[in-house]
Chain A
Amino acid sequence: MRIEIKGLAKSYQRKKVFRNISWQLEKGKSYVVTGPNGSGKSTLLRLLCGLEKPTAGTIAFYIGEDIVGPSSLRSNMGLVSPDLQFYGQLSPLENLAFFSVLRGLDKSNDFLQKLLAKVQLGEEMNHPIVTFSSGMKQRLRFAFALLHEPVFLFLDEPFTNLDRAGKDLVNCIIEDQVSKGIVLMATNEPSEVERFGQDILQLAPGSMGPG
C-alpha cells in the first residue's frame, strides 16, 4: 500500500501555491506536512482527496500492486478537515446513517451508535448538530472519516478545538490507523510534528517541494 506523488503543482490563477512536489508514502507510517499559513498544506490534502485538481503532476494510490481508481478511492480514503461540515438540522446519527447509505454501505444502527460512542458523542447522538460546539463537530468529523474504515486517512489540523479527552482519542485513532494503512497530517504544532512526523514535508508559500 502506497501513495506516489510526482511533480505535483497547484496554482489559483496566477498565484502559485506550490510546485514540483514529489513524495512517496507507505503503509505503516504517519506523515506530516507542515509550513506557514498559505503554504498549501490544506490544498495538498484536498488534492489527495480529489476535492481539487492539480495544475500539474500526478497522484497515484496503490493497494498491493493494484492502482486505486477514483471510484474505489472514495471508499478507501477518509478526510478530517475544518472545511467539512454536516447537516445542522440532522442529528449525528442521522448524518452518519445518510452518509453510510450514500457510500453504498450496509452499516447497522448499532454500528453507527458504537462509532459515535467511540468519538464520545454517544449521549448527543440524537441532538441536531446545529447545537454542537466546535469540539463536538470535530469529533463528528472523525466519525465521518472512519465510517467506511478507510486505509488512507488525511487529517487537516486534527486536534483543533479538542479538549484533553478529545486529543487522547485522536492520538489513539491515529496510532490504530497507522497499523492499518497510511496517515497524513497537516499541522503547524511542533509537538504534533515531532510525535507523528515519521516523514515530514516542509512547505513554504509558492515553494518547490523537497523532490
Chain B
Amino acid sequence: MGRIFYNSLRGVWALVKKDLVDELRTRYAITSMGLFALTTLVMVSFSTGIFALDAGLHASFLWIIIFFSSMSALARSFIKEEEKGTAAALRLSASPEIIFTGKLLYNVLLLLGLLVVVFPLYIFLMNLSPGSNYVLVVAFLVLGSVCLAGATTILAAMVSRAGAKNSLLPVIAFPVLLPVLLTAIRGTSIALAGGNADSVLSELTFLFSYLVIIVTASLLLFSFVWED
C-alpha cells in the first residue's frame, strides 16, 4: 500500500516536472499568460491613472486580469496532450488519478507564477494603499488561484476533445468560477481596505470549502472524462 502511494507521488511529480520542462522549452503558456497580463495591466493603469480607485475596484481589476490571463494557459494543460497525440501514451502509462493530480499541481504552479509577476506589478503601477492587509490579500490571491486551477483542470480535460477548444474554456469556466471570483473579489477588497482575518472568515471558509469539493468531485469524475 505504502509502495503504491509512493509510486503514485513519484508519478505525479514526474508529470509536473515534465510539463514544467516542456513549458520552459516552448514557453507557450508563459508567453501568452505573461503578455496578456502585462498588456491588460498597462491598459488598466493608463485608463484609470487620474482616478483614485477604491479597494473594491482594485480587487475587481486584479481578479479580472488573473482570470483572463490564466484561461488560455490553463486550457493548454490537456489540449496540448490531445493535439500532439501524447494523451494515448499517458492513458497507457498511468491511472487517471495520477494524471489529474499532476495536471492540477502544474496548473497551480503556473498560476502562482502568474501571481508572483502580476501582483507586485499591480502594486507598483496602480499605487496601492500602504494601509492594506497584504498578508490577507496574498492569502486570497493564493487560495482563489488554487480554486481557479482546481475547477479549470477538470474543465480543460472536458473541452480538450471539443472543436473550438481554446475559446470554449473561458465560456464554460465562467459560471463554474463565478462564485469563486465574487468571493475572492469581496475578500480581496476587504483585505485591501485594511480588514483583518475575522472580517473575511466567511470568504476564506467558502473558498476553502469550494476547493475541497471541486477537487474531490474532479478526482471522482476525471476517469469518465479521461477514459471515455
> Shortest Cβ distance from A161 into chain B, in angstroms?
15
The reply on A51 being an interface residue by CB < 8 A is yes
The reply on A79 being an interface residue by CB < 8 A is yes
Closest 5 CB pairs of A and B: A85-B85, A104-B7, A101-B14, A89-B25, A102-B94
Interface centre among A74, A84, A87, A89 (most CB of B within 10 A): A87
- Across the interface, do A85 and B91 meet the contact criterion of CB distance under 8 Å? no
A105 and chain B: residue at smallest CB distance: B7
**Out of B4, B15, B21, which one reaches A102, CB within 8 Å?**
B15
When chains A and B are docked, how far (Å) is the Cα of A83 from the Cα of B11?
23
Tell whether A84 pairs with B14 under 8 Å between CB atoms, given A89-B25, A89-B26, A102-B98.
Answer: no
Tell whether A102 pairs with B14 under 8 Å between CB atoms, given A74-B92, A79-B92.
Answer: yes
Number of chain B residues close to chain A: CB under 8 A: 28
When chains A and B are docked, how far (Å) is the Cα of A102 from the Cα of B16?
11
**Out of A49, A77, A81, A104, which one reaches B11, CB within 8 Å?**
A104
- Across the interface, do A104 and B89 meet the contact criterion of CB distance under 8 Å? no
Interface centre among A83, A90, A94, A103 (most CB of B within 10 A): A103
Chain A residues near B92 (CB-CB < 8 A): 49, 51, 74, 77, 79, 84
- Across the interface, do A144 and B89 meet the contact criterion of CB distance under 8 Å? yes
> Shortest Cβ distance from B107 into chain A, in angstroms?
18
The reply on A86 being an interface residue by CB < 8 A is yes
The reply on B209 being an interface residue by CB < 8 A is no
Chain A residues near B7 (CB-CB < 8 A): 104
8 A Cβ contacts from A85-131 to B: 85-90, 94, 98-99, 101-104
Q: A102-B11, A144-B89 are in contact. List 19 more A-B contacts (CB 8 A).
A: A50-B91, A51-B92, A74-B95, A83-B85, A83-B88, A84-B88, A85-B84, A86-B86, A87-B86, A89-B26, A98-B17, A99-B89, A101-B10, A101-B14, A102-B98, A103-B11, A103-B93, A103-B94, A104-B7
- Across the interface, do B8 and A104 meet the contact criterion of CB distance under 8 Å? yes
Tell whether A53 pairs with B228 under 8 Å between CB atoms, given A87-B86, A88-B84, A103-B94.
Answer: yes
